[in-house]
Amino acid sequence: MRKALAVGIKEFRQIRRDRRTLMILLFIPVFFLLLYGYALNFDIKHVKLAVEDRDLSPESRRLVSAFVNSGYFDQVASVTIEQEIVDLMDRDHIRAALIIPRGLGRDVRRGVPVSVEVIINGENANTATTVMGYASAVITTESARYQMAAPGSPAPFVQLEPRVWYNPDLRSSLFLVPGLLAYIGMITAVVSTALAVVREKERGTMEQVRMAPIGTLPFIVGKSLPYFVVSMTAAVGVVLASMVLFDLPVRGSWWLLLLAMGLYLFGALAMGLFISTVAESQQVAFQIALLSSFLPTMMLSGFIFPIASMPTVLQIVTYVVPARYFLVALRGVLLKGSGFLAVADSLAALMLFAVIVTSLATIRLRREWA
Amino acid sequence: MTTPAITVTHLTRRFGDFVAVDDVSFDVQQGEIFGFLGANGAGKSTTIRMLCGLLRPTSGTATVGGVDVGRDPEAVKLRIGYMSQKFSLYEALTVDQNIRFFGGVYGLEGERFARRRAFALDMAGLVGREKSLTRELAGGWRQRLALGCAILHEPPIVFLDEPTGGVDPVSRRQFWRLIDHLSQQGTTVLVTTHYLDEAEHCHRIAVMNAGKLAALGTTRELKQVFEGRPIMEVQAPSAVVAMRALDAMPEVEKTSLFGTAVHAVLRSHQTTAERVTRQLLTAGVVATSVMPVEPSLEDVFLDLVERTSA
């Protein structure tokens, strides 16, 4: 164990000296958090809205106040002709406009479907999507109410496809942070571990260490421990930062959260080690890491694209993507306040992944060293 | 007669169909500097890697420091120091951190570690520069530090795989002084090199070619292959033309280029320098000098490689 410690201390010193690795380990997570959290998806409130109410019925007024009362929209203008909307939008006085057609009240009372036009400034596509989501939510709610009042109506009041899924509050950061954690785990653990081992192969220091009387196990433990500590720190840092910046709730227990992160990172480190036994150069290691860990975590974990809407073949592939289980566990613990039993399945899957990959890595490393 | 430090019998290593080391046998005595000479790919490094326990022999045995390498490769590692051409230090760490790491890996502690650390620093000439980054050291210092780290645990046997590659001549000389010193203190040193001048430092030399042991002996013994085959060094305005003319003579066994001169191996001592000069003139070559020379290791090496490859 003293030897493992010697390897660990050396690795820590190397990490500290190697600015690039340190950047990857600590700053990229924060950078991504800010980028995704603020720049791309931060909640938009007080969208300036112009209203053109051609109906002026009790129903149309209800709809307008539903928009305003949602808190997402501020009505800054009432217009009577469409040209005014164009002017206001041109001068950036408004970002959205609501146009209620004549006869809305009458049609609704009769149960005839009607469409409400919402114009959104699309300069920022992401903002527009979000605003569209708000508008859609407001309209759907109103629509549902009329439907309930008039049972048997053939179609909803207004049909609008909501654009943001899994987050009815449209608080995008809540849905984002678990994904980010999974992503960060992959960057720090897989890439840096894989590169750290392969670098030793490239520089010849691996051969020197192999000449020393140190077994594979102390070497692996000493080599991965620093990365485990650093990536755990980065993960906890992201959670804390999200709590401060985005009001991320931690509704479940911290212990469960740490357990989930620990198991996930354990698997990711093992993945990195495994890659290092296959790759002979840092470039190759990086590419393998990219294909085997990075992309699946982004694409196939449910982080960006919901698994349920993937083709069946891809859905099957997602079963071997550890981030999939990690996300379920994280969303459970963070957002739903799930207890141990509720996430036990996911934790078990993470554990299984880690154990299998560690065994593979050890077997390969033993063979390589023998 | 003490037991040899290293005993190698019929050692063979195959990689698929390729035989990297082919039935090699030799002994290395304690405290001996044993040189391994050969072209790249001749099997030197493969042999060393087997002796260090890094690579299992396909067949044959090797005993290093009394331990059978094939049976107990881990036990071998306690008895040997190893340093390769790459100077395998951690460049991002300081001098002191490197020493501490290798000390830790070799399990040195307390007073013994302090003593060996002082030794390594002194040997490398780095006292007072403990906090320097290793990557900032010049080649010679780095190389001596690597040697210091490789022998921190005071191994009785040291393997050096082309230790002086890419180092300036002055540093090389200093390095060889360290090796001489180690040997005087009873450490067995097995060193591979392709610098033939370095080979002259070795007590005995093994020449490897195409995986086989082509020759083994002291420098003097090796030079005996030229017994009865004197070497004539010929200087001429065009070495290539002179070489062609020499090759045409029945008295000349073979020729090789040595810088601007040609070494001609003659078939007997009967052939004098005057005779060669005359013959050359007949062929239209005016030699500026023709004189007999002692065979160098390079002559021996080329001769061996040629004959064993044929």
Q: What is the pLDDT of residues B12-21, one digit of tens each?
A: 999 988 999 9
**Residue B300 and residue B196 share a domain:** no
Task: Output the six-digit token pair for B264.
Answer: 């001609």
Distance between CA atoms of residues B305 and B265, nearest Å:
15
Among A28-42, B18-32, B236-250, which stretch is predicted with the lowest mean pLDDT?
A: A28-42
Distance between CA atoms of residues A335 and A172, nearest Å:
12
DSSP codes, B78-93: HHEEEEETT----TTS
Q: What number of CA atoms fall less than 13 Å from residue A17's CA on the CB side? A: 16
Last residue in a domain, options B217, B248, B270: B217
Question: What pLDDT score does A123 carry?
Answer: 60
CATH number for the domain that contains residue B142: 3.40.50.300
Q: Please check whether residue B239 lies inside any domain of the structure.
A: yes
Q: What percent of chain B shows pLDDT beyond 90?
A: 29
Last residue in a domain, options B167, B191, B217: B217
Q: Please check whether residue B198 lies inside any domain of the structure.
A: yes
Helices (H) then strands (E): counts for chain A? 17, 4
- Structurally, how many domains does chain B consist of? 2
Q: Number of residue pairs across A and B with CB atoms under 8 Å?
A: 79
Last residue in a domain, options B217, B243, B277: B217
- The residue among B172, B181, B147 whose CA lies nearest residue A208 is B147
Band (A7; pLDDT cuts 50, 70, 90): confident
**List of chain A residues whose C-beta atoms are within 8 Å of the C-beta of residue B73:** 370
Nearest to B54 among A14, A211, A214 (CB): A211
**Is A370's CB within 8 Å of B77's CB?**
no
**List of chain B residues whose C-beta atoms are within 8 Å of the C-beta of residue A5:** 104
What count of other Cβ atoms lies within 10 Å of the Cβ of residue A300?
A: 21
Distance from CA of B81 to the nearest CA of A (A): 8
Nearest to B97 among A2, A5, A13 (CB): A13
**Residue B167 and residue B256 share a domain:** no
Determine the residue among B58, B101, B102, B153 to mutate to test chain A binding: the one whose Cβ has the most chain A Cβ atoms within 10 Å.
B101
Distance from CA of A368 to the nearest CA of B (A): 9
Q: Please check whether residue B255 lies inside any domain of the structure.
A: yes
| A329-362 confidence digits (pLDDT tens) | 888 888 777 788 888 889 999 999 999 998 898 8
| SS3 state at B286 | coil
Distance between CA atoms of residues A252 and A337, nearest Å:
4
Residue with tokens 């002194």: B122
**Residue B195 and residue B91 share a domain:** yes
Distance between CA atoms of residues A290 and A270, nearest Å:
15
In whole angstroms, how far apart are CA B84 and each of A345, B43, B53, B124, B144? Answer: 50, 15, 15, 16, 12
Distance from CA of A205 to the nearest CA of B (A): 5
Distance between CA atoms of residues A333 and A304, nearest Å:
19
**Residue B193 and residue B235 share a domain:** no
Question: What pLDDT score does A161 carry?
Answer: 38
Question: Strands B6-15 and B18-28, how do they pair?
Answer: antiparallel
Using the 8-state DSSP alphabet, how is residue B4 labeled?
P
Average pLDDT along chain A: 79
Q: Name the H helices within chain B.
A: 44-51, 73-79, 95-105, 110-124, 139-150, 169-184, 196-199, 219-223, 239-247, 273-282, 297-309
Band (A165; pLDDT cuts 50, 70, 90): very low
**Is B84's CB within 8 Å of A204's CB?**
yes
Band (A86; pLDDT cuts 50, 70, 90): confident
**Is B88's CB within 8 Å of A207's CB?**
yes
- The residue among A350, A321, A316 whose CA lies nearest residue A333 is A350
Q: Please check whether residue B162 lies inside any domain of the structure.
A: yes
**Residue B154 and residue B43 share a domain:** yes
Among A206-215, A273-282, B25-34, B38-47, which stretch is predicted with the lowest mean pLDDT?
A: A206-215
Q: Are A133 and A162 in contact (CB under 8 A)?
A: yes
Question: What's the 3-state SS for B289-309?
Answer: EEEEECCCHHHHHHHHHHHHH
Distance from CA of B308 to the nearest CA of A (A): 32
Higher pLDDT among residues A114 and A229, named by residue: A229
Question: What pLDDT score does A150 carry?
Answer: 57
Band (B182; pLDDT cuts 50, 70, 90): very high
Q: Please check whether residue B152 lies inside any domain of the structure.
A: yes
CATH number for the domain that contains residue B257: 3.30.70.100
Q: Please check whether residue B232 lies inside any domain of the structure.
A: yes
Distance between CA atoms of residues A357 and A194, nearest Å:
13
Average pLDDT along chain B: 88
**Residue B187 and residue B292 share a domain:** no
Q: Are A305 and A327 in contact (CB under 8 A)?
A: no
Question: What pLDDT score does A163 carry?
Answer: 30
Question: What pLDDT score does B87 carry?
Answer: 64
Q: Please check whether residue B154 lies inside any domain of the structure.
A: yes
CA angle (A19, A23, A26) in 5-degree steps: 130
**Domain range spanning residue B234?**
225-309
Q: Is the pLDDT of residue A62 over 60?
A: yes
Using the 8-state DSSP alphabet, how is residue B43 labeled?
S
**Residue B174 and residue B299 share a domain:** no
Q: What percent of chain A shows pLDDT beyond 70?
A: 84
B33 beta partners: B189
**Is A2's CB within 8 Å of B150's CB?**
no
What ipTM was assigned to the predicted interfaces of this complex?
A: 0.71
**Residue B73 and residue B109 share a domain:** yes
**Is B105's CB within 8 Å of A214's CB?**
yes
**Is A3's CB within 8 Å of B105's CB?**
yes
Asked if A5 is an interface residue toward chain B (Cβ–Cβ < 8 A), one would say: yes
**Residue B271 and residue B152 share a domain:** no
Amino acid at A265: L
Q: Please check whether residue B1 lies inside any domain of the structure.
A: no
| B140-161 confidence digits (pLDDT tens) | 888 889 999 989 999 999 999 8
| Chain B: residues touching A (Cβ < 8 Å) | 52, 54, 56, 73-74, 77-78, 80-84, 86-93, 97, 100-107, 109, 133, 150
Distance from chain centroid for Cα A15: 27
CA angle (A98, A172, A46) in 5-degree steps: 35
Q: CA nearest B49 in A: which residue?
A: A211
Q: Name all domains of chain A by residue range, CATH numbers in brackets.
A: 2-40+171-369 (no CATH), 47-149 (3.40.1710.10)
**Residue B229 and residue B186 share a domain:** no
**Residue B132 and residue B43 share a domain:** yes
Distance between CA atoms of residues B277 and A344, nearest Å:
94
Q: Are A263 and A351 in contact (CB under 8 A)?
A: yes
**Residue B212 and residue B70 share a domain:** yes
| B42-63 confidence digits (pLDDT tens) | 888 889 889 988 888 999 999 9
Average pLDDT over residues B102-113: 89
Asked if A366 is an interface residue toward chain B (Cβ–Cβ < 8 A), one would say: no
